């Protein structure tokens, strides 16, 4: 098997897919994920727990051993995501039977998005804001199998980009309660007042809506929306670090925020791939670089 080193699209897709798993792996191993939103939901889990275990609901939610088991389970998921990240980076060199865990990783990312949606009062926009993240590994798999960017794959990539930007815009303009971290990051990065930060976010949110529509225009116009999406997607990803970095404790700042930048990299990388396609700047796989060989 020959690695298509001249194919930048394949490289960016690998980085996008791997970054999702790498960032989530770090989160699960060192921080937390919203699994307790489900496991400690009394309406959903109380009948199950009191049926299949000898504990009452109160005993279950106050049992330290249960909490430790959940934490160990999350670490295990994190290690699995780390494995998925490695598989993505060396995807073309892996035998088929080694690649299948990526699909489990995709399912895991969808479940995680659903849990975040539950945590945020079942805002549908919260789920679809993660579209580029849980779709990025699937895009890698489909591209590798088809050996090119089919019209369906390009449409799917544009749709995931549009959903992510549109849902991000819903929070920026205040349709959903605007996260305080949005405002605080903007204030710190721009060095502005809260009022100016809110106005800036509102304008940025409306631009997100325009971009989500502009992606589907003819190429001569859509390419500029894709370029904006690529730049803005990367800027908002790195804003997690720039807006929350403190020189007094740099390692702690990176420990807390860098992984949030990493798993958001597809927000810029997938539009970057689409922009490259629109410019015909990516070298397609040649017959000698058959990924299935």
Q: Residue ranges per domain, the chain? A: 8-289
Average pLDDT over residues 105-115: 98
Q: Report the alpha-carbon distance of residue 240 to residue 250 in Å, rounded.
A: 14
Within a 10 A sphere around the Cβ of 18, how many other Cβ atoms? 24
The position carrying tokens 């079942």 is 122
Phi-psi domain of 121 (left: phi exceeds 0; alpha: psi -120 through 50; beta: other): left
Average pLDDT over residues 71-77: 97
pLDDT level of residue 281 (50, 70, 90 thresholds): low
Mean pLDDT, the chain, integer: 92
Within a 10 A sphere around the Cβ of 34, how many other Cβ atoms? 15
pLDDT level of residue 143 (50, 70, 90 thresholds): very high
Backbone φ and ψ for 97, nearest 5 degrees, come out as: -70, -20
pLDDT level of residue 290 (50, 70, 90 thresholds): very low
Per-residue confidence (pLDDT) for residue 212, from 0 to 100 = 98
Per-residue confidence (pLDDT) for residue 1, from 0 to 100 = 36
| pTM recorded for the entire structure | 0.92
Provide the percentage of residues in the chain whose pLDDT is more than 90: 87
Q: For residue 119, what are the CA distances in angstroms to 52, 127, 165?
A: 25, 10, 20
Q: Integer distance in angstroms from the first to the last C-alpha of the chain? A: 6
Per-residue confidence (pLDDT) for residue 286, from 0 to 100 = 41
**C-beta of residue 91 within 8 angstroms of C-beta of residue 76:** no
Per-residue confidence (pLDDT) for residue 8, from 0 to 100 = 83
Q: Report the alpha-carbon distance of residue 119 to residue 84 in Å, rounded.
A: 26
Per-residue confidence (pLDDT) for residue 221, from 0 to 100 = 96
The full DSSP string for 102-152 is HHHHHHHHHHHHHHHHHHTTT-HHHHHTTHHHHHHHHHHHHHHHHSS--HH
Average pLDDT over residues 106-117: 98
Q: For residue 177, what are the CA distances in angstroms to 78, 90, 165, 170, 235?
A: 30, 40, 16, 9, 22
Per-residue confidence (pLDDT) for residue 4, from 0 to 100 = 41
pLDDT level of residue 5 (50, 70, 90 thresholds): very low
């Amino acid at each position: 098997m020959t690695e298509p080193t001249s194919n930048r699209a394949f490289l960016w897709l690998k980085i996008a897919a791997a970054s999702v798993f790498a960032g989530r792996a770090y989160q699960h191993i060192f921080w937390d994920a919203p699994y307790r939103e489900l496991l400690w939901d009394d309406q959903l889990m109380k009948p199950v727990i009191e049926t299949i275990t000898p504990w009452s609901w109160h005993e279950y939610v106050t049992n330290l051993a249960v909490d430790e088991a959940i934490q160990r389970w999350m670490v295990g998921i994190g290690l699995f995501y780390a494995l998925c990240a490695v598989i993505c980076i060396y995807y073309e060199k892996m035998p088929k039977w080694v690649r299948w865990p990526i699909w489990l990783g995709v399912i895991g990312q969808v479940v995680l998005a659903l849990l975040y949606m539950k945590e945020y009062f079942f805002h549908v926009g919260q789920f679809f804001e993660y579209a580029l993240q849980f779709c990025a590994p699937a895009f890698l798999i489909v591209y590798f199998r088809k050996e090119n960017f089919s019209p369906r794959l390009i449409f799917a990539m544009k749709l995931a980009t549009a959903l992510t930007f549109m849902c991000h815009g819903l929070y920026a303009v205040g349709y959903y309660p605007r996260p305080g971290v949005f405002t605080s990051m903007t204030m710190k990065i721009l060095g502005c007042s809260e009022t100016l930060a809110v106005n800036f976010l509102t304008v940025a949110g409306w631009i997100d809506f325009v971009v989500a529509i502009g992606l589907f225009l003819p190429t001569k116009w859509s390419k500029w929306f894709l370029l904006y999406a690529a730049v803005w997607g990367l800027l908002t990803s790195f804003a997690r670090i720039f807006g929350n970095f403190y020189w007094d404790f740099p390692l702690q700042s990176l420990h807390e925020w860098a992984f949030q930048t990493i798993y958001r990299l597809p927000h810029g990388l997938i539009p970057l791939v689409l922009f490259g396609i629109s410019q015909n700047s990516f070298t397609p796989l040649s017959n000698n670089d058959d990924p299935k060989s």
